[in-house]
Structure 1
Amino acid sequence: MMREIRFNAFDMNCVGHIQQGLWAHPRDQSHRYAELRYWTDYAKRLEKGLFDGIFFADVVGVNDVYGGDGAAALKGAVQLPVNDPMLLVPAMAAVTEHLSFGVTANLTYETPFLFARRMSTLDHLTGGRIGWNIVTGYLDSAAKAIGLEGMAAHDDRYDLADEYMEVMYRLWEGSWDDDAVVFDRANHVYADPSKVRKIHHQGKQYHLNAIHLCEPSPQRTPVLYQAGSSTRGRQFAASHAECVFVNGQKIDGVKAIVDDIRGRAVGYGRQAEDIKIFVGATVVTGRTEKEAREKLEDYRAYASSEGALVHAAASLGIDFSRYDLDEPIETGKSTAIVSNVEAMTRTAGPQWTKRKLLEQMVLGSRQAPMVGSAERIADRLAEWMDEAGVDGFNLSRTVVPECFDDIIELVIPILQERGLYKTSYSDGTLRDKLFGTPRLPDRHVGAKHRAG
């Protein structure tokens, strides 16, 4: 039986997300990001097109590495201004039945007790359609915004994350029994106190002595996403993640990451199929090759090279404003996104320059677009599935909403004809749709904290 391709729209509650500068295109609507109607219409469009979900990226700092301040980010709307993605979810859920929502939240800056309540609330309000993209952050500006001197070292952040996850599992899985809520009106008993327990945790980073404030939600623990592909990030993903988001320009490089993560997961007592892999992709398509190429050239006229460098500088931890076009770039020991530096070195070689980087930034990002007719795009996506072992794609927006309309109207029907895409939604929670069960499997590390 052929595996079905899964699609998430990949976006952010801001003007300029990944493809920098395209907000200036006359047909682009991302400047409406602060309008609730923009997002509810967006959700209805995606669900009508049978998208699996929308995956929200987020940052809580400013991309200020380029030039040493945030001036270029402000000028080019490079993920600034940026609003909270979580507040969009209830409204989008209210106008849909099946669309899922992956939200990025930085555990470094979130108190576990309150964040557990927020995610449980979203799981209740969406009927179990919520996922959490676990990140540890990479912007010094975010750390300084909450009173820290700067980011902790890369691997140290993952050590903190392991403990954070233990606290979250204990709250979500262990505080309330499944049958704790009795809703006995006659005896005025809503919940049985004997089936609700305090969580006691005294760790290196976190201390807790409290019951979880929410009764069990449909999934208890939200579906767990993770997007780190560094060696330490893969270790974390193999232990905790159910969905892993990877980026890469070459199939063989992504396949190596996919195989490594799944192999590590088996080492943790899990099964390879316990992890779904989504690869980031930017698609420019049309009814013909000619139409797709013309669309690409139209989009390229609005892409911002400086905006792309501003974003790359922050995620790679390198101030590109200090380098001439052909001057070799010193990567050093970055505390930003280590996997991005590693991926860039694989693509451009150990002696990469700003010119080499700019050559890749076709549409204002390091992610080279897939360009071609709908038939060609369908072929390419199927090739990624077969050769890299991925399960789906986080499709980065270019010019919205037409970029997703093109996928829905042109590409998905071809995939459906080939038996590679669903023709209707299945019922149940997000985890049901992905794995056939509403709760974490017993072999997941979080399950050992389950009540009883």
Structure 2
Amino acid sequence: MAKKRIYLNAFEMNTPGHMSAGLWTHPDNDSHGYKDSEYWIELAKLLEKGKFDAVFLADVLGTYDVYQGSRDSAIRRGAQAPVNDPSLVVPLMSAVTNHLGFGVTASVTHEHPYTFARRMSTLDHLTKGRIGWNIVTSYLKSAAVNMGLEDQIKHDERYDIAEEYLDVCYKLWEESWEDTAVKVDKENGMYADPDKVHDIKHEGKYYKVPGAHLSEPSPQRTPVLYQAGASKKGRTFAAKNAELVFINAPTLNTAKETVKKLRADFEQAGRSPDEAKVLTMFTPIVGETEEEAIQKFKDYQKHISHEGALALFGGWTGIDLSGYDEDQVLTYVENDSMRSAIEVLTKVDPEKQWTIRELKDFIGIGGISAYTVGSPEQVADTMEHWVNESGIDGFNLAHAVSPGTFKDFVEYVVPILQDRGVVQTEYEGNTLRDNLFGQGNQLPDHHPGKNTKGVLVK
């Protein structure tokens, strides 16, 4: 019986301090080089060497300003601030790789689908079909007000907007240009047949897009669809649309319960429960021996910024912990921030309760998801255990230091996982979607993106 394949994504962000608050201060951390082309070029080469499926680029459009009612902590401690555009580093990385995929985070609430669809088609062309889109609805109020809104859009309405946004994008990507529209007929001077390019004539509650897509069809047409919402509304959205779902799981039980709910949602949406792949965020701290890994971890802990950790937590959850007693147990609070973040810490695993004191230490390495510390064999064992026990399909690997965390993982852990037959030794396809699923470059025919066809006219 063949072993279950483990999918590997590297989790990065165009910022000095991503998930491990304060670790940018470590002498081995080069994440301050995020501004430089060389940083992204070398990272891409490393990840393709390690046969990673993709690098997943997070993003936010605002600053984390919930903690103490100010953005000062996030800016002072480099907690996802400053942050640059994730999409612009993709051409750099694709130029030095042949198979590595690129998952780009982009919000449906702060960019019009007409222009966004062209940007993604452009990237899919430039990468020869290696683009994915992480669909987010933007949980930061600071982003909303800087985009001209009075307040943050309500949590559930953001998903209503996302449904229509995808509908517009699907029509532009999948329907506007027929497969045989592009001729490149030099003899007759016809680049494309206008009779085979159609207006989408979309009129909805949030968007009106009458015309045709600006780009000719790219290798994948629709980018690979990633989604990370684990709230009830987010899971329903993922069950309908997502091809890969990212979850945050501070404990194995949390991962197990979240996967169980997601699989049921996929089935209820009329899809195979295993069709979409579920990846959990995970931070591996690897040494040549267990003792070396433990020493490395203790060294990293000295660089944790508790202030930065609480700034990140405030942004994710909308909860300001500055007035809480450190021994107080965290409880669920509902607001219009990222509900899944507070849910996984308070509701999903009833066996685990977090005090504020424990939380700020835990978040300091890898955010609100689990980390593991050990020898190469121990880390590989832990990852296989999580896959077998929780039902996840793989990992969204975050770094404590960059590129060191990824270098250690590629050098020490990947060969073990490959020898065990659970991580690919060669890429199977040419596009990201084909590499991931082995079923061609484009969305499967039963996906809703292939089933929005109305009466399109020239």
TM-score of the superposed pair, with normalisation by structure 2:
0.95
- Residue identity matched to 1:284: I
Q: Whole-Å Cα distance in 1 between the matches of residues 372 and 353 of structure 2? A: 26
- What is the distance in 2 between the residues matched to 1:196 and 1:245? 35
Correspondence for 1:382: 384
Which range is displaced more, 339-348 or 286-295? 339-348
Q: Any unmatched runs of 5+ in structure 1?
A: none
For 1:188-207, list aligned pairs within 5 A: 188-207=189-208
* Range moving further from structure 2, 82-91 or 255-264: 255-264
Return the offset for 1:327.
4.3
Tell me what 1:253 maps to. Answer: 254
1:423 to 398, 403, 425: 425
Higher mean C-alpha displacement, 408-417 vs 356-365? 356-365
Take 1:3 and 1:331, find their aligned partners in 2: how far apart are those partners? 35
Indicate the SS of the match to 2:184: strand
CA contact (8 A) 2:20 2:364 kept: no
Residues 216-258 of structure 1: CA distance to partner in whole angstroms, max 9, x if unpaired? 1000000000001011110000001000001112223222222
Equivalent AA in structure 2 for residue 188 of structure 1: G
Q: Tell me how far apart the structure 2 counterparts of residues 170 and 252 of structure 1 sit (CA, whole Å).
A: 39
- Asked if the contact 1:176–1:212 (Cα under 8 Å) also holds between the matched residues in 2, the reply is yes
> Is 1:122 paired with 2:131?
no
CA distance in structure 1 between the partners assigned to 2:292 and 2:138 by the alignment: 39
Task: Provide the residue aligned with 1:393 in structure 2.
Answer: 395
What per-residue deviation string (whole Å, max 9, x for no partner) do you get for residues 341-361 of structure 1? 111113587985422423533
- For residue 449 of structure 1, what is the aligned residue in structure 2? 452
Distance 1:13 1:283 in 2: 20
**What CA deviation, in whole Å up to 9, does each residue of 1:10-35 have, x standing for no partner?**
01000000001110001110001100
Preserved contact between residue 199 and residue 211 of structure 1 (Cα < 8 Å): yes
Alignment of 1:25-424 (within 5 A): 25-327=26-328, 331-346=332-347, 353-361=355-363, 363=365, 365-424=367-426
Distance 1:109 1:116 in 2: 13
Structure 1 range deviating more: 252-261 or 321-330 = 321-330
Partner letter of residue 56 of structure 2?
F
Distance 1:325 1:379 in 2: 34
Offset at residue 362 of structure 1 (A): 5.1
Cα deviation digits, residues 301-321 of structure 1 (max 9, x gap):
111111101000110111111
Identity fraction in percent: 49
Structure 1: distance between partners of 2:84 and 2:3? 39
Equivalent AA in structure 2 for residue 255 of structure 1? K
Structure 1 stretch displaced more, 313-322 or 266-275: 266-275
Alpha-carbon deviation of 1:328?
Answer: 5.5
Looking at structure 2, the residues matched to 351 and 338 of structure 1 have their Cα atoms a distance apart, in angstroms, of 17
In 2, the alpha carbon distance for the partners of 1:344 and 1:174 equals 42
The one-letter code of the counterpart of 1:204 is K
Q: Is the 8 A contact 1:140 1:150 kept in 2?
A: yes
How many Å apart are 1:266 and its aligned residue? 2.4
1:293–1:353 distance in 2 versus 1, CA, 3 Å: closer
> Equivalents in 2 of 1:130, 1:108: separation in Å?
20
Please report the TM-score for the alignment, with normalisation by the length of structure 1: 0.97
CA RMSD of aligned residues (A): 1.7
With over 3 angstroms needed to count, the CA separation of the structure-2 counterparts of 1:427 and 1:273, relative to structure 1, is same
Amino acid at match of 1:379: D
CA 356–402 in structure 1, closer or farther in 2 if over 3 Å, else same: closer
Does the Cα contact within 8 Å between 2:53 and 2:435 map onto a contact in 1? no
Q: Distance in 2 between matches of 1:309 and 1:399?
A: 19
Larger mean CA deviation between 347-356 and 153-162 belongs to 347-356
5+ residue gaps, structure 2: none
CA distance, structure 2, for counterparts of residue 84 and residue 128 of structure 1: 20
